[in-house]
Structures are given as C-alpha cells and as structure tokens.
Amino acid sequence: MDPNPHVAVVGATGAVGIEMIKTLEKRNFPARQLTLLASARSVGRKLTYRGNEISIKELTKDAFAGIDIALFSAGGSISKEFGPIAAKAGCVVVDNSSAFRMDETVPLVIPEINAEDVKRHKGIIANPNCTTAITLMALYPLHRAFHVKRIFASSYQAVSGTGAKAIEELRRQVGQVVSGQAVTKEVYPHQIAFNVLPHVDSFLPSGYTKEEMKMENEGRKIMHHPTFRASVTCVRVPVYRAHSVAVSAEFENPITVETARKVLAAAPGLDVVDSPEKAEYPLPLYAAERDNCQVGRIRLDCAMDNGLAFWISGDQLLKGAALNAVQIAEELLK
C-alpha cells in the first residue's frame, strides 16, 4: 500500500460521508488525493477538504481507476454493486453498510479490538453496525479480562443513525408540536418527536429486528467468540446524534466494580464517566462529536451471578461509522 494513498469517499454527501471527510482531515490522514463520489444528482456540488473545494464526481463502474482506498457509505445495494468492482480495480474497500459484514471472506473490524484481522482482507473490509461498535468498546475489554457469556441490552438510538432525512424529520416535528401544528411523518412509521419507537430496522420471524441480531452475530465475529449470546431491544429515541446502550453482561469469571473500572479505564477509545453522586454519567448530548465512547453507571448486576451492568454512549457517526472506517484505513498503511 502506498504510504500516501489516493482515497475515495463513496456517498460523500451523506451524513456519514461528510464525517469521513472531516475525520480524514482531523486525523491528518496522509492522502495524496481525495476523490468524492456520489449519485448523479450530487455531481458538481463542492465539499471542503483541507481548505480546498472538491467537486463531487458521479459513482460509475470506471470511477476507481488509480484509487488505493475507498471508504463506502452509500447503502447496502450500492456497496454490493460497486464494492467488488472497486476491489477488482485494485482498490481496498472499507464498507460501512451491512452488505459484507457476515461474509466469511471479509474481515469485520474494530481496530481497538481485532486490528489483526485487517491483514486477511481480499479487497473488502467491513465496518460494524454502529450500536454493536459502541457496545463492544466497553464489552470487549471486560470480555478479555472476565470472559463474557451473554448480555441483555437495550439501545437508545439517535435519529442520525437513519440519515439526514431523519434528523430533518425530528427537527420539523419538534417545531410542529411546539407550535400546535399537525405532525407530518415520512421517515418513521410513527411520530419520533417526544416519543420512542421500539423498532429499528425490519422485523425477523423470531420477533427480533435485524438490528437487534447484529449485536450477537457481529459481536461473535469481531470478538472471535462463537458462543457469545445477546438479547437486545433496539429503540429509536428523539436524540439528534450519539447512541446509548444499557447493558447487563454475565461473565464466566468473578468480577468486581473495582476490577471492571480498572479494565475500562485502561481501554483505548473509551472514557470512564462514572460519578453518579455528582450526576456524572455518559450522556449522548456530551458524547456527540467526540471520538471516544463513554462508559458509566458501572455496578454489579443484582439479577445475575458474575454480572455487571453499565451504560455506554458514543457518537454513531464517528466510532459507529466514519472514525472506525478511517482507523481501518490507518491500519492498512501500517
């Protein structure tokens, strides 16, 4: 890999694409050139990178000639169509969709956990689901120390996880409710303002949603832990940015709050925010736009042996998407 690669962002105008561009700049990623690709309707729009305006080009089958790394965030169908084309052109694809995550030939990577897996790529590397990534930032260090058996979790997921239109929908609905107007909805099946929806992604025959099963399926692959089990309820909440997850985890080995806190304090990419007596605990409002996830409310679980309950918040546009993708690209250069 060229130490100064030519990088492309696919889906550059989307919420995650814009964060990818910002993250490349913020982390001084040594790209010699940046190409921005999107659908035909965005062609000619300009985005700023390192003080220069870059015009958006159309994503076509010929767009990947000479590109070394392509960060994809344009949805699963685009990834399925163009990911293999980019890989065939000699480009390494870091894909943010669910298209390749469970493909056995594709590494699924959180660099703080399984950076080594990057080396096994055959042209495509998958970025995990945002809720899974944020949860595992706290769960994996605990797993290494105490060996997790299973978790029960509920997520509190921001609307930006759905995309820019959902952010606009929440803004619009808040205004409509406050001014006494009728609430209009397009993105979600119900009003999201001043409400919570226990419905993220589509339902499976089991009654779980696809999003809820990602925690178990992706968690097993990322942690190299084939017997890991996760019962999750994913909930959309009227928060603009940053997901939170309440987790109760059961471990094989005895655990104390003190030993858990030590492990979490030493974990990369994670800040312990846990002084409940001062009303200090992770909040999505304060986790937003931060690279690190935050963990707190750490306590022994009173319903399980060797159980620990904790609460984690993290910016799903960053650690849950753009930051993680750029960190994978950094691993490719090592």
Q: From edge to edge, which strands make up the β-sheet containing 270-272?
A: 229-236, 148-157, 243-251, 307-314, 293-300, 270-272
Q: Are 170 and 184 in contact (CB under 8 A)?
A: no
Strand 148-157 with 229-236, pairing: parallel
302 is catalytic: no
Report the residue count for the chain: 334
243: annotated active-site residue: yes
Strand-strand pairing, 243-251 and 148-157: antiparallel
* Ordered DSSP codes for 271-290: EE--BGGGTB---HHHHTT-
Strand-by-strand arrangement of the 124-126 sheet: 57-58, 33-38, 6-10, 69-72, 92-95, 124-126
- Say which of 91, 121, 130, 234 is annotated catalytic: 130
Which value, to the nearest 10 degrees, does the dihedral of the CA atoms of residues 22, 25, 30, 32 take?
A: 80
Catalytic residues: 130, 243
